């Protein structure tokens, strides 16, 4: 997935109102407000003064002329903060047959209704194979060592998705929870049990019910984000 417009560097002043961030552009020192497309807590990624990358736009329909896309981390690493990016990255990878265990599916449909007033991110079908329902989650929390963690705040919606995927398995289909780690400094993945015990329990029930847990990290540059390596997933939290 490539960004539509070249990103420009800035320094974060503050992130507020969930979807807004004030930044100072490095090129000319202007202070602007950027759209921050992320409803989560963004723990560790919203520190004032950190270097960020924003995408300018000239769309007359958009009130804000910049969108926050990346945060720079220690050691030359990057993190993506746009929660719409994982679906685009995973969609491209599924259609290109790049996901281990799902490469045999050639028909990939997005946003298909299922469950109780829900839409699954991707429905994969192939003659002779059980349908595969794939739900994608954005991961960008790291608190210790190289552990990527999800979620970064309580997500009742996420627990609901897990329960609906269990029902999919009961109906004879495959169900996959696909965690995409949008940062480059992680080597493994686990559930942040202390931040959302309810989601952790829902994950354990989902695994017992046959839902597959899949985790990949990403290659992130100022040009775009792409699928990289499969990461080990710990069910112990």
**CATH code of residue 46:** 2.40.50.580
HSE (CB half, 13 Å, CA atoms) of 214? 21
Q: Is residue 1 part of a domain?
A: no
Residues 168/124, Cβ–Cβ less than 8 Å = no
Residues 13 and 44 in one domain: yes
CATH code of 105's domain: 3.40.1350.60
Last residue of a domain, one of 53, 80, 107: 80
Angle in degrees, CA 121, 209, 115, rounded to 5 = 40
pLDDT tens digits, one per residue of 5-29: 999 999 999 999 889 999 999 999 9
Widest distance between CA atoms in the chain: 59
Last residue of a domain, one of 49, 80, 111: 80
Q: Is residue 113 part of a domain?
A: yes
Q: Please name every residue paired with 150 in a beta bridge, in sequence order, or none if there are none.
A: 191
Tell me: pLDDT of 116 over 90: no
CA–CA dist 54, 34 (Å, integer): 7
Q: Which two tokens stand for residue 200?
A: 């952790």
Q: Is residue 120 part of a domain?
A: yes
47 vs 114 pLDDT, higher one: 47
Q: Is residue 2 part of a domain?
A: no
Domain that holds residue 89: 85-234
Residues 154 and 112 in one domain: yes
Last residue of a domain, one of 80, 108, 136: 80
Residues 95 and 159 in one domain: yes
pTM of the model: 0.95
Q: Is residue 74 part of a domain?
A: yes
Q: What is the pLDDT of residue 237?
A: 76
Give how many domains the chain has, as a whole number.
Answer: 2
Residue spans of beta strands (DSSP E) within 42-165:
51-56, 66-72, 78-80, 107-114, 118-125, 132-139, 141-142, 147-150
């Amino acid at each position: 997935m490539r960004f539509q417009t070249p990103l420009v560097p800035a320094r974060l002043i503050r992130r507020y109102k969930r979807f807004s961030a004030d930044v100072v552009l490095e090129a000319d020192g202007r202070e602007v407000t950027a759209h921050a497309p992320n409803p989560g807590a963004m723990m560790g990624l919203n520190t004032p003064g950190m270097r960020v990358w924003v995408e300018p736009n000239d769309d007359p329909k958009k009130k804000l002329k910049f969108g926050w896309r990346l945060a720079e981390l220690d050691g030359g690493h990057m993190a993506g903060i746009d929660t719409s990016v994982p679906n685009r990255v995973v969609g491209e990878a599924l259609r290109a047959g790049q996901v281990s265990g799902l490469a045999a599916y050639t028909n990939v449909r997005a946003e298909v209704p299922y469950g109780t007033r829900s839409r699954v991110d991707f429905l994969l079908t192939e003659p002779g194979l059980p349908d595969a329902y794939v739900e994608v989650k954005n991961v960008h929390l790291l608190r210790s060592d190289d552990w990527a963690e999800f979620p970064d705040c309580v997500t009742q919606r996420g627990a609901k998705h897990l329960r609906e995927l269990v029902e999919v398995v009961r109906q004879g289909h495959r169900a996959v929870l696909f965690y995409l780690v949008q940062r480059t400094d992680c080597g493994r993945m686990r559930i942040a049990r202390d931040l959302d015990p309810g989601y952790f329990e829902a994950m354990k029930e989902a695994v017992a019910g046959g839902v597959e847990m899949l985790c990949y990290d990403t290659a992130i540059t100022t040009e775009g984000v792409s699928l990289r390596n499969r990461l080990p997933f710990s069910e112990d939290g």
